[in-house]
Every structure is written in structure tokens, then in C-alpha cells.
Structure 1
Amino acid sequence: MSEKKFEELHKLYDNSKVGSLVQEICEYYATQDDYEDNSYQDEIEPPEIVESIYLLFCIQSREQILDELSIVQKKYPDLYSSVSGMHNTLLINMDYRTLEKSCGQKIADHAKDTTLEEVLNHADSYARSSESLSVAVDKFYTWLHTRSK
């Protein structure tokens, strides 16, 4: 990760207007930019699953997440360059249900004997019952790992 991105990431963590999920997403994408020769494949989940999970939970509080990503765009331009694709995906998909189904289906296809409905129900349940979306994502991963192939 470039020194500038690293500095911006530290500043981002001190910004109380940006929630823990957006901070986590920024860190994920910024560090992923530095992977060479597909070394990210050593991660527990493939990038398309991680990205689908992030999008699925961003949809749960779409307007808030879009506001936070706008702050990242304005205050941390180097860091934003890593998450701009995801931000644009959230902006472009005004009918979030199509995006939600697409992300949910990727996750369901990745997990063993899991339906789209189960994925969406768990995401919704965890988002509603957790103190933050970041905690909800952690709970979702715990559930997903019980379903892994």
C-alpha cells in the first residue's frame, strides 16, 4: 500500500463520521490493490464473495454508506481510488433488489446447500440485530463458514 493510502487510512480510522464497515471496506480494497500474482487467493474467501458480502451489507443501510463513501471521496482521494468501483456500483444500482439478489446468489452458490433466501434472511437478521454493520458482517461470516463447501 502506498504511503499516502496508508496515511489516509489512519486518518480515516480517526474520522467519527465514517463507520466501521466503510473503514473496513477501505482497508480491504486498499490492501487488495497491492496483491501481486494472485496471492490474495490465500484468503479464506475468494474476492468475489468478500465483495458480494460487503455490497450486501452496504445495501442494508445504503444511504448512510453512500454518505460515508462521499466523505472518503472528498477527504481521502488516494484511498477512495481503491473503493470507487464499489461506490459506483452502489450509486448505479438504484433498484437495490437486483444488486442484492446478484450478491446473495454468488454467496449462496459459494456455500454448501444454501439458498438465496437463506443468505438474504441471515444478512437482514444480522443487520437488524447487531450494534453495527461491521459486527453484522462478522456474524454473517461465522454463519457462512458453517455452510462452506
Structure 2
Amino acid sequence: MLITSSRKPSANTRTMCKYLASFFNCKYMTRGKMGLIDIVSLCENGLLMVVGDYHGSPGSIMFYDSHGVELLSIHLSVFYPDGYKYTPLKALEPSINGDGELFNLLSYYLDIPEGECYYDSKCLIASDDHLEFVYLDNMLFRLNIKNYRKMVMSE
């Protein structure tokens, strides 16, 4: 998976991209003036995550396949706990836990194992109204879901 941002991201959105890349053990790339197809062609396994900006903060996450087709779009707001500060995370394999349709979609697209959250792990807790990113038993941040839509492929 490759993570990038919208074309002119705020500092908060760039930081969120770095955190997501560190959490998922994947690459973050600044987008600059590259188009979507140019970015998609650089993806190693074909999944691209684009973090969009809204009023100076991360406001959306879109997932694209290896052909640049949008798979999932999530509109969100971000909550940081007191004392939040970005630090790179250890290269532990993340797991996903939760319930609901969004959990099932993320589990499928991100291709990370489903499992319990332990004190010495990275875990994404997903539901239809929020995504919590947990590292070493501490919540890093929470993405509050405003809405999401999955794309339906026509045959």
C-alpha cells in the first residue's frame, strides 16, 4: 500500500499521512503535482490511500485499486488525545478488530489480520462510526466517521 495526500495538504494532513504509513508499515509519498494515475503506477501491491484535506485538517480517506478506480471513500474528523505528539512507530504487524460493514471493508482492502488488541501491538479498532488506532495499549488517535461509501463495480 502507498499513502499520499491531496495536492496541497496542510501540515496536519501530512502528519496524519506519516502516522498512517508508520502504523501500516508502508510508504508515504508526497504528491506534489502528480496525477492520480501517476501515483497509482507507483503502488507496489496496487492499493493507494489518499488522505484529503478539509479546512486545514484531514477530512477524508479514499482507497483506489491498481487501475485508479475508487474502492472506498470515508469522510471523517480527527480526535487526538491529550498529550498527542507524532513519533515513528515500531515495525510491528498491525491487526484489525471490530464489527460492522466498514470493519469488513477495511479488513478486506487493507489485508491485515483480524485479531485481538494486545498491550504490545498495533491495532485498528473499526466500527461504522469510528476508527481507533491503538499502539502499545494507548490510543494514538481516533477518526470519527461522518459517512462512507463503497463503490459498486458495474459488470
TM-score class, shorter-chain normalisation, is 0.3 to 0.5
**Which has the larger helix fraction?**
1
